[in-house]
């Protein structure tokens, strides 16, 4: 395998599958099997999942309560998703640990960097819940922060499209896919990869990002093996 330690970022919406809301058990099972396959190859894996299938903090402003309260609700949604993924993985005998940025010891361990590193070294799948624990920060930022802290080789951003395009491929049929692109080019062309806080954090810490289609069978294993799928974002292209 090309990568020894990865951080996989999944959106909450990806867990919905064909549903309009909540968690689709088929998608959960599929993701668990994909993760299991790379664990068995010896890859150390951390996971951050969004909460958009349950609640987004940014929705709160239209609902009549403040953004901070809404963001805390969104953090709890990511923990619900983390618990669901933990159950799915443990049902197929993959050892996991759920670590949360908000303390809730009856449900999960509090996030402590050294503890997270130790779990990864022991081959456990580490799921980070609760975002950064602070309002106004997205789960993309949480994923970037945790990836830097646990010294991951790369962030794998699993989406429903197979990389970064010159335009939205679902709206523009002439959009072309980038095989690789630099951080500067993404910013210059105003391409949507992550929110700016998360993206800048990756750039400053020289942490590469791979955007790929997580919904295709076996893609996660191929990415970890170094196959040329998706789009790689890095500091410079050789």
Closest CA to 137 of 72, 205, 77, 81: 72
Closest CA to 144 of 155, 130, 134: 155
Rounded mean pLDDT, 97-109: 97
Q: pLDDT grade, residue 192 (50/70/90)?
A: confident
pTM score of the predicted model: 0.95
d(CA 218, CA 226): 13
**Residue 95 and residue 35 in contact, taking contact as beta carbons nearer than 8 Å:** no
pLDDT tens digit string along 41-93?
A: 999 999 999 999 998 777 776 777 888 999 999 999 999 999 999 999 999 99
Cα 211 to chain center, whole Å?
Answer: 10
Cα 61 to chain center, whole Å?
Answer: 25
pLDDT tens digit string along 105-119?
A: 999 999 999 999 999
Rounded mean pLDDT, 199-213: 97
Closest CA to 7 of 231, 224, 230, 232: 224
Rounded mean pLDDT, 175-182: 94
Ordered DSSP codes for 7-49 = EEEE-GGGGGTTSSSS--HHHHHHHHHHHHHHHTTT-EEEEEE
Cα 146 to chain center, whole Å?
Answer: 10
Picking from 15-19, 44-48, 61-65, 153-157, which range would have the lowest pLDDT averaged per residue? 61-65
Rounded mean pLDDT, 15-30: 93
Rounded mean pLDDT, 168-173: 84
Percent of the chain with pLDDT over 70: 98
Q: Structural domains in the chain?
A: 5-234 (3.40.1160.10)
The pLDDT assigned to 61 comes to: 67
pLDDT of 160 > 90? The answer is no
Compare 167 and 15 and report the one with higher pLDDT.
15
Rounded mean pLDDT, 130-138: 96
Q: What are phi and psi of 123, to 5 degrees?
A: 85, 15
Compare 206 and 20 and report the one with higher pLDDT.
206
Percent of the chain with pLDDT over 90: 86
d(CA 46, CA 97): 10
Q: pLDDT grade, residue 168 (50/70/90)?
A: confident
Rounded mean pLDDT, 167-184: 90
- What is the DSSP code (8-state) at residue 106? T
Strands (DSSP E) found in 121-166 = 125-129, 154-159
Length of the chain: 238
- What is the DSSP code (8-state) at residue 159? E
């Amino acid at each position: 395998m090309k990568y020894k330690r990865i951080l996989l970022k999944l959106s909450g919406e990806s867990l919905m599958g064909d549903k309009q809301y909540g968690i689709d058990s088929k998608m959960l099972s599929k993701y668990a099997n994909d993760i299991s396959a790379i664990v068995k190859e010896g890859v150390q894996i951390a996971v951050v999942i969004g909460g958009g299938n349950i609640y987004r903090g940014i929705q709160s402003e239209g609902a009549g309560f403040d953004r901070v309260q809404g963001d805390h609700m969104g953090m709890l949604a990511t923990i619900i998703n983390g618990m669901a993924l933990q159950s799915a993985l443990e049902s197929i005998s993959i050892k996991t640990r759920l670590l949360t940025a908000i303390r809730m010891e009856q449900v999960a361990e509090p996030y402590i960097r050294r503890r997270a590193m130790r779990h990864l070294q022991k081959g456990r799948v580490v799921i980070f819940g609760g975002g950064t624990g602070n309002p106004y920060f997205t789960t993309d930022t949480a994923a970037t922060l945790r990836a830097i802290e646990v010294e991951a080789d790369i962030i794998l951003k699993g989406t429903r499209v197979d990389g970064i395009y010159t335009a939205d491929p679902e709206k523009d049929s002439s959009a072309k896919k980038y095989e690789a692109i630099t951080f500067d080019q993404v910013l210059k062309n105003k391409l949507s990869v992550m929110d700016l806080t998360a993206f800048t954090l990756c750039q400053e810490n020289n942490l590469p990002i791979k955007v790929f289609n997580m919904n295709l069978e076996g893609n996660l294993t191929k990415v970890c093996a170094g196959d040329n799928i998706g789009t790689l974002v890095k500091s410079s292209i050789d």
